[in-house]
Structure 1
Amino acid sequence: MKPLVCALLLLIAQSALADSGTVIRNSDLREKPFSDSRSIATLSSNSKIEIQKNQGTWMQVKTPQGQVGWIKLLNVRTQSGTRNNGLATLGNVIKTGSSGQTVTTGVKGLSAEQIQTAEPNMAEVNKMESYSSSNSEASRLARQAQLSPKKVAPLSNSNTNVNTPNNGRRP
């Protein structure tokens, strides 16, 4: 009897710790992690999903109806499986001034190992730099498009935080 109870508790704990998410825009649930793969369902915005695994820019997910397929990870807002309850979030705010949630869209889809072992591709950097234009070329194109110059104050070097009520601007 004890092994059965332990197995049941382990199964419940695993499902409680599974990553969950919410679809943030209407999205196709695809058979395989490719844009040209067959769509097996359409997930509506605000649909709840269970995230099974990540593969590059795709997530394999399971819907409440039991359908399993692939969705682009940028179409999903994730919630950690170790869900913060209200008291834990309040505790974080009291101790650190933060809810404990961090936005990391810039590295979404990359593993910690991929980030740590990343190396610059200088050929691609040079290719990107080749797309830049000179000041005279930019001025010529601006005149051609009938754009007029505008004076813009330079940014300060202070440690402003864009996550402030004024988006980093001083009052």
Structure 2
Amino acid sequence: MRRHRLIIYILLVISSISIAGAGWAWKRSPRVSCHPFGFIASSTGEKHYISPEKIVVKPWRGRHHVYGVFMVPKGYENDRLLTIKISENKTYCGLITETEYASYEDIDAKPGYHLIKGYLNTRLVVFLMAQGKIEQLKQPSNWKLGYVNKK
């Protein structure tokens, strides 16, 4: 009888420490905030938005496995952040890489265009998947990247 109580007590302590540790790690996670400095403004007022050509959502493979591949015209400057609107009142942001690709994962850029990748934080994706929003993450219309003419 005493042995069972000791085991239950130990499991309770381990569970409490695990929950507290997970909460601490979640608060410290490097989530991307949708700060205004991540978006560019157009001097002419004309800003264009595109959805990705391809979306990859495989967070179980680790970091950098949740991203969208966007095709942006050359001669245009794109935002440094992408937006993902999951519901009417919740928008999340992800980071855009500076690398430009002519071809990436079976997608070839059209003449006059280049490809760029936009990443979403893996912890955020796992959180959204736990809420049952995986299908919304896979919808290209929910992902947006803005760009303007460099003039």
TM-score, length-scaled by structure 1: 0.23
Greater share of residues in strand = 2
Q: Which has the larger radius of gyration?
A: 1
Give the number of the structure with larger relative contact order, counting CA–CA contacts within 8 Å between residues 6 or more apart: 2
